Amino acid sequence: MNLARRTWVNVFARLFGSLSGALAGVFLARGLSVTDFGFLSSTFALVGVATLASDLGVSQTTTRLVSRHPEKSAEIGWIGALQRGSLALLFTALSCLVILSQPVPVRIASIILAVSIIAAAGNVGQSLLLARLRPDLVAKAGLVQSLIWTLGAFSCWLLSGGPVVFAVFFLISQIAQSCVVLALSRDLLRAPRRALMLRLAKPIIASSVTVGVGALAWAAMQRLPIVFVTSTAGAQEGAFLGVAGRILDVLFIFPTVAAATLLPVLANRAGSAKQGDVQRRSLALMTALGAVLAFGASIGGGAAAVIMFGSDYVASAATVAVYSLVVLPFAVDCYWGTQLIAANRGSAMAWTGIVSALVSITLAIVLTPTWGAVGGAFAVLLAQSLRALCLWIAASDLRQRATRWDQGVSAILVVVAVGAVSFITDISHVLAVTPVLGILVAGISSVVFALIIMVLLQIRWREFLAVFGRGA
């Protein structure tokens, strides 16, 4: 299997993992009470941030260094494993301290979920496999985790298992993934040379922390508001934001995959005659994709939540509508972030992430007591829009590669998305009462809006093929 096929296998596995995770979330919501689902949604968010904090750039740094110095793969791999393992213990303990405020039955399940932070530490072997250009092996491990978690969640829902059983299946899926990864990468983790490990440890740890700050800050911006919502507005409001988060995770797949496909195109065409054409139209394409997803999902997201998660979540329509709008500034974020990474300016991702995370957490603390889950969703929307603006500023010397018209339309659409929150939430709530009609209206609206955006930004269908297909 050549590298291109291996890469597409990995992309497919990521798509499958995201979709199966969303499906597992459906089983979780239907198998638990709204209150229990709210507490576990908060814990999943906390565990997700803690898992990234325990990685703190280890994965990216390990992949980069092993690619450059394959003869030192064992030493680099063990340094990464020890660093991630020690941080995993620390953040598991801190997460458990936060979890202690939950009711006893859910508290036990949440502690089990927190242990998965330690179980995920074995995934440092993924970095070694990626460095050896074996993303297909990483994909296999991911598929194992997705299948165990989804089938386990389905079994729990079918057999009316409680929150503890759900948590146990999730922990098993994480342990299984780590075991598969370590088994596949065992040849790369041969006995290390201790003297070389000690010499390499300090620069590797310093480099990984610098790289990981941006990813951790972005996760904190997206995930931590639900923790504040659950603790201040109640578990039911946390459940509503958890449902919205599951839907948003599915929406995020499309701009994420588009940006991942666009990055090698920009990198491979650096300095070529075609580079300018690709860059000039990429913002229009990403903006159109994000806008159609955002406005379509915000109109029909409440109806989709009722169909997927049950009638108990009719009241989540407003939260889903606001949270779905986040995908538009996220798509713009993906464009400017991809431009900066392709230009070897990844440090901008760190400071913009920190700024947006602070804004998101601060707004969540201020808005949640009054507006509940809607306030938490609005905090993320404003913070994500601010991050897109910060990346636009950071890419000041790259902006000429996109036309002023495309930049202007992109900015106006983001402003409209933020300003239209009240109007869209009202529509979404009405349509959630009759979910089938809601989905139909959202589908028709999305098609009409897509045609308007394509005319406005002068996008032709063949441009999608040129940039994301044959042009790659």
- C-beta separation of 17 from 177 below 8 A: no
Same domain, 288 and 182: no
- Which among 186, 216, 246 is the end of a domain? 216
Say if 434 falls within a structural domain: yes
Say if 224 falls within a structural domain: no
**Total domains, the chain:** 2
pLDDT of residue 463: 56
Residue 36, CA distances (Å) to 20, 43, 159, 432 in order: 21, 11, 17, 23
Phi-psi region at 270: left, alpha or beta (left = phi > 0; alpha = psi -120 to 50) = beta
157: containing domain:
1-216
Same domain, 151 and 249: no
Say if 222 falls within a structural domain: no
Same domain, 55 and 125: yes
Q: Measured between alpha carbons, how far is 349 from 255 in angstroms, rounded to an integer?
A: 17
Same domain, 241 and 212: no
Q: Measured between alpha carbons, how far is 13 from 143 in angstroms, rounded to an integer?
A: 6
Global pTM value: 0.79
Say if 199 falls within a structural domain: yes
Same domain, 265 and 411: yes
- Which among 187, 216, 245 is the end of a domain? 216
Same domain, 183 and 291: no
Show pLDDT as tens, one digit a residue, over the chain (472 residues): 555 565 566 667 777 777 788 888 888 888 888 888 899 888 988 888 888 888 777 777 777 777 777 777 777 777 777 888 888 898 899 889 888 888 877 889 999 999 999 988 877 777 777 767 677 777 788 888 888 999 999 998 988 888 899 999 999 999 998 888 888 877 766 767 777 667 777 777 776 666 667 777 877 888 888 888 888 888 889 999 888 888 888 888 778 777 666 655 554 444 444 555 556 667 777 888 888 888 888 888 888 888 888 888 888 888 988 998 899 899 888 888 777 766 666 677 778 888 888 999 999 999 888 888 899 999 999 999 998 888 888 877 766 655 666 667 777 777 777 777 776 777 776 777 777 777 788 788 778 877 777 777 666 655 555 544 444 4
- Joined together, the tokens standing for residue 337 give 């972030």
Say if 225 falls within a structural domain: no
Same domain, 263 and 116: no
How far is C-alpha 302 from the chain's CA centre? Answer: 21
Closest CA to 315 of 241, 224, 366: 241
Say if 228 falls within a structural domain: no
Same domain, 49 and 127: yes
Say if 388 falls within a structural domain: yes
For helices 327-342 and 275-309, give the axis angle rounded to 10 degrees.
Answer: 150
Helices (H), 120-134: 125-131
Neighbours of 369 (CB within 10 A): 12
Say if 420 falls within a structural domain: yes
- Which among 216, 243, 266 is the end of a domain? 216
Same domain, 280 and 428: yes
Same domain, 51 and 77: yes
Q: Which residues contact 462 (CB under 8 A, 6 or more apart)?
A: none
Same domain, 11 and 51: yes
Same domain, 290 and 155: no
